[in-house]
Amino acid sequence: MSKITVALEAAVAAVIANKPEGDARPTARQRAEVDKAFARILKLIAPRIRHFIRQYGLAAHWDDAEQACAIAVHRAIEAYEPEKAQFTTFVNWQIRGELQSLRFRVMTDQRPSAKKVDATTISINAVTYGPDGEEASLEAVIEDENALACTESGASDYLAQRATLSLVDSYVDHLRTTAIGQLRRRPRTKKKVVIHPCEIGDAIPVQARPKVHGIDAEELEKLEQRLTRNREIIERRLFEIASPSTIEDDAGVTKERIRQITKRAAKTIAELAGTEAKFAMMAAYRRPGVLRTKTRKPAPVIAPVTSL
């Protein structure tokens, strides 16, 4: 081995020997020894660093290239294993990798793909001229003045759309709950149970009693169809301002029925927005209402009749 190789191995060994064990903090003496050994390593490989900087065409970015080489040396020391290779060979590949990465960052126009389209690398801090002819930085020229307004507008539209869908979902759930409650309370006609005559001694067949409070699956299906139709009408009529004739053609509902559905929906949705906790922010912009509930009228009080 050459004298430089031996000196590099000794300096790297000094750095490794002064590393604290585990998570312990290095002492002041250890830090001083590491700094001294690291400076010695950079001095020994300085000719090699200058050679690689010129080889990769980074002479115009000399300071950045030297900093990249110092980072490469530090990483090489951290990952170096003496039993696998010499430090001279290991650090060469580290320096090459860092300089190649730096070259791609600051000189992208040197790539073959960039040369085909005549690309040129420029600094974002370069001085250029604006539309009015005055000098301005490139960063100021490419900055979009409407970016913030467009972002806020897009976010506002998204939140409004999500709030609209949530309101419609709550309204449909309210309609479904009300309709199912009405179906459960509705009196049902009892089906006639036909008992076939049987011979004497035979057991009388036991007929299953029909459910009094059950809901027919066909009725539930019709209910869901009505809710789907009403949802489409509400979304298009209230929130997309579609013409009633268009909705009439699509849903097969008359204009008067559309008016009734939308009027009732608008009032109920406003009440839901004022009473449900998840719409508390919306309720801050309006006077909260109360959902309409049907209250039974109290029975009239008949005064007792007294005989004279």
| In a domain? residue 14 | yes
How many domains is the chain built from?
A: 2
Query: Of the ranges 92-101, 253-262, 274-283, 296-305, which one carries the lowest mean pLDDT score?
Result: 296-305
User: What per-residue confidence (pLDDT) applies to 51?
Assistant: 93
Q: Which residue has the higher pLDDT, 289 or 172?
A: 172
Residue 173: its H or E element: helix 147-185
Q: Is residue 279 over pLDDT 50?
A: yes
277 and 156: one domain?
yes
Range of the domain at 167: 152-185+217-283
Burial of 45 (0-12, 13-18, 19+ CB in 10 A): buried
| In a domain? residue 29 | yes
| In a domain? residue 36 | yes
71 and 10: one domain?
yes
| In a domain? residue 292 | no
Angle 296-302-306 from CA coordinates, rounded to 5°: 170
| In a domain? residue 137 | no
180 and 241: one domain?
yes
40 and 94: one domain?
yes
How many angstroms separate the Cα of 20 from the Cα of each of 26, 34, 45, 47, 283?
5, 11, 26, 31, 62
Whichever domain contains 93, its CATH number is 1.10.1740
259 and 179: one domain?
yes
74 and 173: one domain?
no
253 and 177: one domain?
yes
16 and 71: one domain?
yes
**Residue in this structure with the two tokens 């040369």, named with its chain if needed:** 115
User: What per-residue confidence (pLDDT) applies to 212?
Assistant: 41
User: What per-residue confidence (pLDDT) applies to 185?
Assistant: 81
Q: Is the pTM of this model over 0.75?
A: no
95 and 8: one domain?
yes
